[in-house]
Structure 1
């Protein structure tokens, strides 16, 4: 295997295995390490190199297949091949790497801090009901409404801090992030994983665990960041 492939297909972290696997595959495709028309490494080899289960790898490949980046071929010379041509970039201006990093860094600081702060407050009954309601709405959202319900849950967490300034700042950064998220496909395995992570974040907030809430939110945001880097950078 080429040295550059060695660098890209290195073990991912366990917390966001699906999202980081998608990121690594998209990096290999977008950087031309595996060019259009060429075959990805064999499934067993790729799963071993990435340190993920074959189930996780298949979910990632299926998601990229649904998004039009790869296709699976059967037979003696089969495997997973990068599509030629690749899908056209979704409408919108070019996202430069520094801009993406800036938005993701600001989001990580604000949202992890908001989760920590909310968990450290003595929330009233109405605030607790609102968090649970927003969580349920997001978990049950359709693909068409998921982004909106997801945003509302994250803003509810900011509101639970009791800081109007923090809520306003988080709303601003959320607008920036949503513009980026609208440029990438919705991947059902990622949404299911995000819902599980949302459950944990809200559980830590309602349980009064500031450190746990910060860690849970940070891991959740890291998964989204992996997808954005994979598709946009």
Structure 2
């Protein structure tokens, strides 16, 4: 950010609100969300410099590695650029991406679909872990987990969706599976409007493994919590890019 006297008080208060410590479970995703919020709300406007890396990492309570990954994701998405030298740093681009959406998504619409997804999929993970799964069901989950972590980037969304549906399927409720499928269609429409970030995909795959393992362990509470944390990361990215 610039040190313009005219904006000092506004930047201080807004910056304190946006650059507060993030939760550790989805540190990368929440960091991306916070930086995007700062850019979209004008706390760091076009052409302005973000706080220094050391300061920003301290304020967000994250590692500098996580911060650099988040900044790199925003670079690749066209939001910021890094400059070297005495007056270098990370600067907000003068022209910001407009996104791929053909229809604007309101905050109300976004909150609606994210709330429905959280209720359905967290419940599905908990219900699946509460059941005594057959050997076939256990293998079914493992197979979709393995498949979701392999293949071309262009196939990721489809394989990710299929794993989440498999979790609903082994919960043993066709009605639940149908509802999860419906909300996933809406989620994918939103996800298609934001970039696929390598760090997020690696993080998601690790979380998928944890969710499935909790289900296979027969631990409903931990399965529920693992799914809730996973969905919170996706929600952070969607709110960051689309809000």
Aligned-residue Cα RMSD (Å) equals 0.7
Aligned length: 233
Partner in structure 2 of residue 47 of structure 1: 57
SS in structure 1 at match of 2:46: coil
User: 1:32 Cα deviation (Å)?
Assistant: 1.2
Q: 1:151 aligns with which of 139, 161, 174?
A: 161
Give unpaired runs (5+ residues) of structure 2: 1-10
Is 1:166 the equivalent of 2:176? Answer: yes
Give the TM-score of the pair, scaled to structure 2: 0.95
Does residue 34 in structure 1 map to residue 44 in structure 2? yes
Aligned partner of residue 80 in structure 1, secondary structure: strand
Tell me if the contact between 1:34 and 1:40 (Cα under 8 Å) persists in the aligned partners.
Answer: yes
- Within 5 Å, give how 1:134-145 maps onto structure 2: 134-145=144-155
1:2 alignment partner in structure 2: 12
Q: Measure the CA separation in 2 of the matches of 1:183 and 1:89.
A: 6
For structure 1, the 5+ residue unaligned runs are none
- Report the 3-state secondary structure (helix = DSSP H, G, I; strand = E; otherwise coil) of the residue aligned with 2:14: helix
* Cα distance in 1, alignment partners of residues 216 and 194 from structure 2: 32
Counterparts in 2 of 1:69-218, with a 5 A limit? 69-218=79-228
Superposed CA deviations along residues 106-163 of structure 1, whole A, max 9, x for unmatched, are 1001000000000011111111111001000111132111000000000000000110
Give the ranges of 4+ consecutive aligned residues of structure 1 lying more than 2 Å apart after TM superposition. Answer: none
- Cα distance in 2 for partners of 1:141, 1:14 equals 29
Report if aligned partners of 1:92, 1:183 keep a CA contact under 8 Å in 2.
no
SS in structure 1 opposite 2:194? coil
Per-residue CA deviations over 1:206-226 (Å, capped at 9, x if unaligned) read: 110010100000000000000
Distance 2:117 2:101 in 1: 23
Q: Please report how far the alpha carbon of residue 99 of structure 1 lies from its aligned counterpart in structure 2 after TM superposition.
A: 0.5
